[in-house]
Amino acid sequence: MESTEIKKRSFNELINDETPVLVDFYADWCAPCKMMTPILQQLKSEMGDKLNIIKIDTERNPDVAIKYQVRGIPNLILFHKGNLIWQQAGVVQMPQLKQMIEQKLEQSWEN
What is the value of pTM for the model shown? 0.88
Sorted by sequence, the CB contacts under 8 Å of residue 78 that are 6+ apart come out as: 20, 21, 22, 23, 84, 85, 86, 87, 101, 104, 105
DSSP secondary structure code for residue 85 in this structure: E
Active site residue 106: no
Ranges 1-5, 28-32, 40-44, 91-95: which has the least confidence: 1-5
Domains and CATH numbers, the chain: 19-110 (3.40.30.10)
Catalytic residue among 7, 8, 17, 30: 30
Active site residue 33: yes
pLDDT value of position 108: 77
The values of phi and psi at residue 50, to 5°, are -75, -15
59 or 6: which leads in pLDDT: 59
Side-by-side strand order, sheet with 83-89: 52-57, 21-26, 75-80, 83-89
pLDDT value of position 12: 87
Catalytic residue among 15, 21, 33, 101: 33
Mean of per-residue pLDDT scores for the chain? 90
At 28-75, the pLDDT tens digits run 999 999 999 999 999 999 999 999 999 999 999 999 999 999 999 999
